[in-house]
């Protein structure tokens, strides 16, 4: 007796289920031929797998000063370069990736926030004026394009429960993203004992963030002029990321720097149909080393199609 293949068994069971539903009056009998035709197409359609990056056997790995590095092919999930990717390090302003995700989870982009008096921060800032009002979308531009610390604190102080509740939400967000080696003590990225992340964790967060079209649009903006609600206060913002617009395929994501953290950079690249995410933490030359990694990856990896029948 001829035995059914697993594919034929699957089709046979689906047809039996359809006949049962038809007998119950849940489907229109005239649609049976079309339904069977669709089932046959599904059964015959081969499963598609993303191409796999394969490293040339003759290539040598670049020497990178950064303390933590993780580069991954997002299509396949295959790591392309690693250097202590799970070592907890000071994230500096790459923290603002999580700050933005928490803010975008709660606030509508067209919501208007008031700059609170409590916003008094060191480091990079737009110069927001206490009492002025600004749309959340424009505050996010300040946060992600110009890496403004006062933008980060404005979002935190306007969150339900205030600043401390916002920081708790940041850690809840990190946990939900399986950022197992990260913890945040402030939304800005200022160095604190409990402010830690890793190259792998930041790649994970950035991959999720870049699925949000608004986030991707903002971090891909080279320069923009925004205003408060009144239109009287004008802010000209230039992206700190030097690779944006100068290295083909770079579309964001976020810079970071403090004296103790050194230079940090998370970068998303789309080139030749491939999507790559790279995180470099504790570098002496974040832009130069990230560009070196990008050039090395595309020069030494070849993407091969996967045949599920082999």
User: pLDDT tens digits for 279-302?
Assistant: 999 999 999 999 999 999 999 999
Active site residue 60: no
Cα–Cα distance measured from residue 16 to residue 234, given in angstroms and rounded to the nearest whole number: 67
pLDDT 10s digits, 205-233: 999 999 999 999 999 999 999 999 999 99
**Nearest of 171, 191, 172 to residue 183 by alpha carbon:** 171
254 Cβ contact list (under 8 Å, min separation 6): 93, 94, 96, 97, 144, 147, 206, 219, 241, 265, 266
Among the listed residues 96, 135, 173, 254, the single catalytic one is: 96
In this prediction, residue 38 carries a pLDDT of 55
Quote the pTM value. 0.83
In which residue ranges of the chain is pLDDT below 50? 1-7, 21, 24, 26-29, 39, 42
Contact 28, 281 (CB under 8 A): no
Among the listed residues 83, 125, 147, 182, the single catalytic one is: 147
Active site residue 96: yes
Cα–Cα distance measured from residue 254 to residue 265, given in angstroms and rounded to the nearest whole number: 6
First to last CA, the chain: 28
Query: Tokens 């067209």 identify what position?
Result: 110
Active site residue 147: yes
Identify any residues that bridge with 114 across adjacent strands, giving them in sequence order. Answer: 133
Among the listed residues 83, 93, 206, 254, the single catalytic one is: 93
In this prediction, residue 172 carries a pLDDT of 98
**Nearest of 294, 288, 295 to residue 65 by alpha carbon:** 288
**Nearest of 184, 204, 202, 209 to residue 194 by alpha carbon:** 184
Cα–Cα distance measured from residue 274 to residue 137, given in angstroms and rounded to the nearest whole number: 29
Domains in the chain, CATH or no CATH each? 6-44 (no CATH), 52-304 (3.40.710.10)
């Amino acid at each position: 007796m001829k035995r059914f293949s697993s594919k034929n068994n699957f089709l046979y069971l689906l047809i039996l289920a359809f006949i049962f539903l038809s007998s119950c009056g849940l489907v229109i009998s005239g649609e049976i031929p079309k339904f069977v035709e669709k089932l046959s197409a599904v059964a015959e359609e081969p499963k598609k797998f993303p191409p796999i990056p394969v490293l040339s056997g003759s290539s040598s790995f670049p020497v990178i000063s950064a303390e933590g590095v993780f580069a991954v092919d997002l299509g396949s999930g295959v790591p392309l370069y690693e250097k202590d990717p799970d070592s907890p390090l000071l994230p500096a302003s790459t923290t603002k990736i999580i700050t933005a995700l928490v803010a975008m989870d709660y606030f509508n982009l067209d919501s208007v926030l008031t700059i609170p008096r409590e916003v008094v921060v060191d480091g990079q800032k737009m110069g927001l004026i206490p009492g002025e009002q600004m749309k959340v979308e424009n505050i996010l531009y300040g946060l992600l394009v110009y890496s403004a610390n006062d933008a980060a604190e404005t979002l935190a102080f306007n969150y339900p429960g205030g600043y401390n509740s916002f920081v708790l939400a940041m850690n809840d967000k990190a946990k939900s993203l399986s950022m197992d080696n990260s913890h945040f003590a402030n939304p800005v990225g200022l160095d604190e004992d409990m402010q830690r992340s890793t190259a792998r964790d930041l790649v994970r967060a950035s991959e999720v963030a870049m699925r949000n079209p608004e986030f991707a649009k903002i971090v891909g903006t080279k320069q923009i002029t925004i205003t408060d609600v009144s239109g009287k206060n004008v802010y000209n913002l230039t992206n700190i990321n030097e690779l944006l617009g100068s290295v083909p395929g770079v579309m964001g994501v976020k810079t970071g720097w403090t004296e103790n953290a050194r230079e940090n950079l998370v970068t998303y690249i789309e080139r030749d149909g491939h999507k790559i995410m790279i995180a470099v933490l504790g570098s002496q030359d974040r832009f130069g080393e990230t560009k070196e990694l990008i050039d090395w990856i595309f020069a030494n990896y070849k993407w091969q199609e996967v045949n599920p029948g082999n």
